[in-house]
Amino acid sequence: MFQLNLVWGVFAPALMTLASLGQISWAQVSPAQVSSAQSRQDGAVGAQVRSSTPTAQQLGQWIEQLSSAEFTQRELATQQLLRAGRLALGQLKQATTRDAETRYRIDQLVSRLETEIFEDLSQSFLLDRDAEKSYGLSGWSHFRALAGSSRTSKLLFLEMIRRQPQLASLMEEVSQAADPSAARERLMRTAAAQARRLSEDRLRFQRTEIGDVVAILTSAALADQRAPIEINELLETSARIVPVTTFMNRRGYGNVLRRMYDAWLPKTHDSIAFSVLELSLQYRLASGADIARRHLSNNFDVSTREYAIHCLTCFGDRSDVPRLVELLDDETVCDEFLHGELPRFLRPHSIEESDESPPGVTEKEPQQASEVDLEDAIWQVRISDLALASILMLEDVDPGEVFPAFRKIEQFGFDSRSVAVRRSELSARRDVMRQWKSDYQQRGTDQ
């Protein structure tokens, strides 16, 4: 049985356990079952208070008895307040005391009652097929618009509520506030503080839970433009480790998380552009194309530009071809590697870090430089090569006509090294680039 390592274990009394929820589909849950489950839940809650619904005065007396000198009276008052359930919660939250044990009992009661109420609401929320019903759970309308209302969306939403209730409340404020900008600013400040705390916890080897990541992702989606750098850095690093990698590989959860990461990518900063482009290729996030379009120029490092071209190959369209045509004159080297054997004394320093033989190995007589054609042995991949390969794929032209060793790969669109050129053949490759660019410009003139 598929075991969900999420929330509580609270669903056994009502129709199914959380583990069995991992296998059941909405089509298997009839309206009658939902109604029956909710009736049993309401009956269980009502049974606690129907026999003798306590008055506010009785609740106050029981709260006072929590500080009684007699242990049995304190225990009896605790049980009475637990039976009262949510009716007692308001007064317990307002209660003040200087006694340490009484304060502890009140805090424990509040925590237990809030957990029980949350479990009841969660059970009804999960079983209800009406996507708009929130059951009073803060932030659902925004989360639903972002991540959908599937069963896995609801489970991730509940985990977010459990881990980050304050952020969920602030999300609700944004959707309800007369001045959303002020509420959004409060949300961003709080989310940034939580992201900073989670990053510090990770340095202390404390694991970030999936509910924390979902809460920060949902908050980031509400940012006006760029999300705070603390949020971006946490999400960028979390995407590569457990639990995000685990959930990304789970059917259903991966789809929901990809939607959320897709909404976050446009809110990132240029300082993490390379990592963001890498994530978009790893998790197939189409919004990576928007990031790529901003990072093609030589204002950015060559690795970022290389990944930007790969992102456009995977997620771009023909409207991106003019951007790539501008790169056909760019001979910035992305990669340089040896093809075949070269004497060590002829290998460029950037390729071979050491000229010394391993201990115990006798150095062979070096060959004469004239015996080796260095220009034929070293291959290069340039920005212009990547750009032309990407253009040909977007134009539905076989890149093999230009690059004999061309090889497609799913994650990157194509293998960068399959478009490499020998140093000795750079002149011929330049001619191909110029001819292709001229033909493209001529087609544009004819149109």
Structural tokens at position 55: 């008055």
User: Is there a single domain that holds both residue 438 and residue 387?
Assistant: yes
Distance CA 130, CA 140 (A): 12
Asked if 329 and 384 touch (Cβ cutoff 8 Å), the reply is yes
Percent of the chain with pLDDT over 90: 74
pLDDT bucket at 338, cuts 50 / 70 / 90:
confident
pLDDT in tens, 397-435: 999 999 999 999 999 999 999 999 999 999 999 999 999
pLDDT bucket at 252, cuts 50 / 70 / 90:
very high
Q: Do the domain assignments include residue 354?
A: no
Give mean pLDDT, residues 127-135: 95
User: Is there a single domain that holds both residue 169 and residue 224?
Assistant: yes
The yes-or-no verdict on residue 2 having pLDDT over 60 is no
Q: Do the domain assignments include residue 427?
A: yes
User: Is there a single domain that holds both residue 298 and residue 434?
Assistant: yes
pLDDT of amino acid 417: 93
The yes-or-no verdict on residue 356 having pLDDT over 70 is no
pLDDT of amino acid 370: 45
Q: Do the domain assignments include residue 286?
A: no
pLDDT bucket at 445, cuts 50 / 70 / 90:
confident
Tell me how many domains the chain contains.
3
Dihedral pair phi/psi, residue 7, rounded to 5°: 20, 120
Structural tokens at position 147: 């991540």
User: Is there a single domain that holds both residue 112 and residue 1?
Assistant: yes
Q: Do the domain assignments include residue 274?
A: no
Distance CA 337, CA 108 (A): 65
Check the CA dihedral 393-407-426-313 and report its sign. Answer: positive
What domain range includes position 113? 1-23+63-127
Structural tokens at position 100: 């340490």
The yes-or-no verdict on residue 322 having pLDDT over 60 is yes
Q: Do the domain assignments include residue 437?
A: yes
pLDDT in tens, 380-389: 999 999 999 9
User: Is there a single domain that holds both residue 5 and residue 106?
Assistant: yes
Q: Do the domain assignments include residue 42?
A: no
User: Is there a single domain that holds both residue 317 and residue 426?
Assistant: yes
User: Is there a single domain that holds both residue 202 and residue 172?
Assistant: yes
Q: Do the domain assignments include residue 365?
A: no
User: Is there a single domain that holds both residue 188 and residue 69?
Assistant: no
Q: Do the domain assignments include residue 338?
A: yes
Distance CA 15, CA 135 (A): 19
Give mean pLDDT, residues 263-277: 96
pLDDT of amino acid 13: 34
Give mean pLDDT, residues 230-257: 96
The yes-or-no verdict on residue 339 having pLDDT over 50 is yes
The yes-or-no verdict on residue 31 having pLDDT over 80 is no
Single-letter residue type at 382: R
pLDDT of amino acid 355: 52
User: Is there a single domain that holds both residue 71 and residue 153?
Assistant: no
Give the residue, 20 or 335, on which the prediction is more confident: 335
pLDDT in tens, 55-108: 999 999 999 999 999 999 999 999 999 999 999 999 999 999 989 999 999 999
Percent of the chain with pLDDT over 70: 80
User: Is there a single domain that holds both residue 428 and residue 332?
Assistant: yes
Bridge partners (DSSP) listed for residue 19: none
Domain boundary among 73, 96, 127: 127
pLDDT bucket at 303, cuts 50 / 70 / 90:
very high
User: Is there a single domain that holds both residue 319 and residue 423?
Assistant: yes
User: Is there a single domain that holds both residue 206 and residue 300?
Assistant: no
The pTM for the full model equals 0.77
Domain boundary among 221, 237, 268: 268
pLDDT of amino acid 363: 56
